[in-house]
């Protein structure tokens, strides 16, 4: 998409996010099967508070759930994990940086999926630096 465009709809961004998951290696996809992907325009005040943010424009994605390494086989009836993408902050970043929207969505989905696998933000930044 070009930067002068309005940006993707929630449905289009949802399709981009699902395509990212579909492109991951099978061993990761298999462990992400229960994750619910959701696209909303902005994070809720509660979601912002959970990551110590106040400005709704600062959060582009969020993982809500228990990381795989922290789970117990004795737990049952837990809500499925969720990866949230926040459309308006992603569009603002897209316009500001010129990075392709599908690349931004890919980055956020993979980053939030990293939390599902138990990686900290610091772990993921270090991995990205080594890979990039």
Helix, strand, or coil (residue 119)? coil
**What's the pLDDT tens digit per position in 117-130?**
787 778 777 656 66
Domain annotation covers residue 4: no
Taking a C-beta distance cutoff of 8 angstroms, is the pair 66, 114 a contact?
A: no
Domain annotation covers residue 39: yes
* 65 backbone φψ class: left, alpha, beta (φ>0; ψ -120 to 50): left
Domain annotation covers residue 5: no
**What's the pLDDT tens digit per position in 96-120?**
999 999 999 999 998 898 888 787 7
Count structural domains, the chain. 1
User: How far out from the chain centre does Cα 75 lie?
Assistant: 25
Q: Is the pLDDT of residue 88 over 90?
A: yes
Domain annotation covers residue 2: no
Domain annotation covers residue 3: no
DSSP 84-111: EEEHHHHHHHHHHH---HHHHHHHHHHH
Q: What is the mean pLDDT of residues 77-89?
A: 88
Domain containing residue 36: 10-69+77-131
Domain annotation covers residue 1: no
- List of residues 6+ apart from 37 with CB closer than 8 A: 14, 17, 18, 21, 82, 83, 85, 109
CATH at residue 108: 3.30.2010.20
pTM for this prediction: 0.83
Spatial CA neighbour of 105 closest among 29, 10, 30: 10
Q: Is the pLDDT of residue 39 over 70?
A: yes
Spatial CA neighbour of 111 closest among 14, 17, 41: 17
Return d(Cα 26, Cα 73) in angstroms, integer: 22
């Amino acid at each position: 998409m070009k930067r002068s465009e309005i940006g993707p709809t929630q449905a289009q961004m949802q399709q981009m996010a699902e395509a990212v998951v579909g492109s991951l290696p099978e061993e990761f996809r298999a462990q992400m099967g229960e994750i619910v992907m959701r696209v909303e325009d902005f994070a809720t005040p509660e979601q912002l508070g959970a990551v110590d943010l106040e400005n709704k424009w600062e959060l582009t994605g969020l993982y809500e759930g228990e990381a795989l390494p922290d789970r117990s086989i004795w737990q049952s009836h837990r809500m499925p994990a969720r990866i949230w993408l926040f459309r308006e902050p992603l569009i603002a970043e897209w316009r500001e940086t010129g990075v392709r929207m599908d690349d931004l969505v890919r980055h956020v989905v993979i980053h939030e999926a990293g939390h599902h696998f138990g990686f900290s933000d610091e772990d993921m930044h270090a991995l990205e630096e080594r890979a990039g």
